[in-house]
Amino acid sequence: MRAPLRISTIAMAGMFVLSAGCATRGQLRRGLAEQAAALEAERSARIAGDQRIAADVAALRADLDALRKEFGTRITMMEDGMHFVVPVHFGFDRSDLNPEAEPVLSRFSEVVQNHYRGAKITVEGFADPAGSAAYNRQLSRKRAEAVRTHLVEQGVPRSQLTVVGYGEERPVVPGASGGSYGADLNRRVVFVVETPPDPSLPGMGGAISAR
């Protein structure tokens, strides 16, 4: 009677080992499936990220092209970043904005809000050499403040904007003042954009000048 019992015990042990083997293979398949799903999710996220970057770059290029075509803006890549030269000039001994400067500044504010969110922007003011150096520094700062006010009214956070007046320093046309040729080019502001919000995007930082 003991032999049949021994055979039955061996058979049950074999069935247990076979069952355990099936369970292990099932866990392995589930593990591989989960790993494959995780890899696919990572790949999809990477593709979505690449598409977002491509869309951001395309939008930036479109905005820069619009500045060129609509306002004659000159855009140059320099060692310290991108320089934008746009037509913003001031009248002699004046710090108020000319009406013709407002459209390009409004477009510039859109570029800032779309592509330079969180960046530090310094508005540098300049003057022609007429008058004393101290007076020119004061006048140039008022010009920078007028531009900052307009940008804030257009939605740029004031916390992003700092103003400074350099007076007659760094003239575009040396010696030109008053009503002489090129004097209006010396009466200008320069935007310097620092700390780009997304370093992975080309052209998302640097210096932007408006003359």
Would the pLDDT of 185 be above 90?
A: yes
The Cα–Cα gap between 211 and 185 comes to 6
pLDDT exceeds 80 at position 139: yes
**Mean pLDDT over the full length of the chain:** 78
How many Å separate Cα 116 from the centre of its chain? 3
Are 189 and 88 within 8 A, CB to CB? yes
For residue 117, what pLDDT is reported? 87
Q: Average the pLDDT over 41-56 and give the result.
A: 63
What is the sign of the dihedral through the CA atoms of 44, 46, 49 and 50? negative
**Residue 135, number of CB atoms within 10 A of its CB:** 14
Nearest to 104 by CA among 120, 90, 88: 88
pLDDT per residue as tens digits for the range 101-124: 999 899 989 988 988 888 888 898
Please check the confidence at residue 199 and state whether its pLDDT lies above 50: no
**What's the pTM value of the predicted model, to 2 decimals?**
0.68
Q: How far is CA 47 from CA 38, 51, 123, 200, in A?
A: 14, 6, 38, 15
Q: Which of 36-45, 90-99, 113-122 has the highest mean pLDDT?
A: 90-99
Examine the pLDDT at 58 and tell me if it is beyond 80: no
